[in-house]
Copies of this chain bind each other. A is one copy, B any other.
Amino acid sequence: MALLKKINHRARTDQNSGFGTNANSYGGRFVNKDGTPNIEKRGMHFFRRISWYHTMIDMPNWKFMSILFIFYIVLNFIFAVVYYAIGIEHLDGIEQSQSILTQFGQAYFFSAQTFTTVGYGHISPTGFLTSALSAAEALIGLLSFAIATGLFFGRFSKPTAFLKFSHNALISPYGEGTALTVRLVPFKNTNFTDANAKVTLGMSVEENGTMTNKFYSLPLELDHINALSLSWTLVHPITEDSPLYNMNEEDFRKNHGEILVFITTFDDLFSNTVAARTSYTFNEIIYGAKFEIMYNRSKDGTKTILHLDKLNNFSNSKFN
């Protein structure tokens, strides 16, 4: 693969990528489409390797709710077994004449009523052991809900960058030459200010017989804007200093490489910096195309309308 020869010797390498130069480890992609690094960790016990808070905060809603319900069902079952083992006669209000299944069911619901502190009282504990167990269960219940409260708050107050990236990066006409362009847009009712962008080219290439990871900074026409309210097209002009200067359509098709995009911006509501990442492999780059403007004036002339569905719309504009 002679890609390295094509790289402009003037191109500025980016030594701060954090991915190292050892290419034996290269797994075909540095960064996944959703911005997470394409890395798997091993050699440490799962429980030590996992931040359970990060895990609980990051999982989808249905999974989180399922875990809560299953926890509730299982914990009540365990307590019901212990109540039953201590003796159903210590739960006042359960008739001894009923079937074992019914008695166990009532112990189960007594447990649920204790855990949630609803405590109707038609069943109530007598005797030291059962009373102590129910006192402990009520405490555990409340602490569980304390934890759940924290998790819920953590989940929805987690500062998230509600940014969408165009699915493709384009090589577009730009002045006399060409430029690499990527588009992004805020898609929710947020208010972003002070947005910064950083774009890096990453490649795993052969150098002197061994595979090496090479990273190059791709300078942008504008790498900072004050307000990120409309769509933002990141434009890397392919000048003589660009590592992409000598590459043609075929080079992108035949080689492996990756454009890493990293955005940070300040979210007014969270009052916090939020970050978003994505990457475009060479086969996600469209050569000779141009993003269409995705906003226009409203009919009454008093607003700008931003069309989120046009984020990836582009027109072909082959270069001659």
Binding site for B on A (CB under 8 A): 14-20, 22, 24-29, 31, 35-44, 48-51, 53-55, 57-58, 68-69, 72, 76, 92, 105-106, 109, 112-114, 116-125, 128, 131-132, 134-135, 138-139, 141-143, 145-150, 152-154, 156-159, 162, 187-191, 193, 195, 198, 200, 222, 224-230, 232, 262, 266, 268-275, 277, 293, 295-298, 301-310
Contact = CB atoms under 8 A, between A and B. Distances in A.
Q: Which 10 A-B pairs have the closest CB atoms?
A: A150-B153, A43-B309, A37-B229, A121-B121, A159-B271, A116-B138, A112-B135, A18-B225, A122-B124, A120-B121
Contacts of A148: 142-143, 146
Contact of A50 (B112, B142, B188, B293): B188
A122 B193 CA distance: 57
A254 to B, nearest CB: 18
Interface SS of A by simple majority: mixed
A125 to B, nearest CB: 7
A152 B143 contact: yes
A43 B17 CA distance: 36
Contacts of A149: 145-146, 149-150, 152-153
Given A49-B188, A150-B157, A225-B16, A119 B113 contact: yes
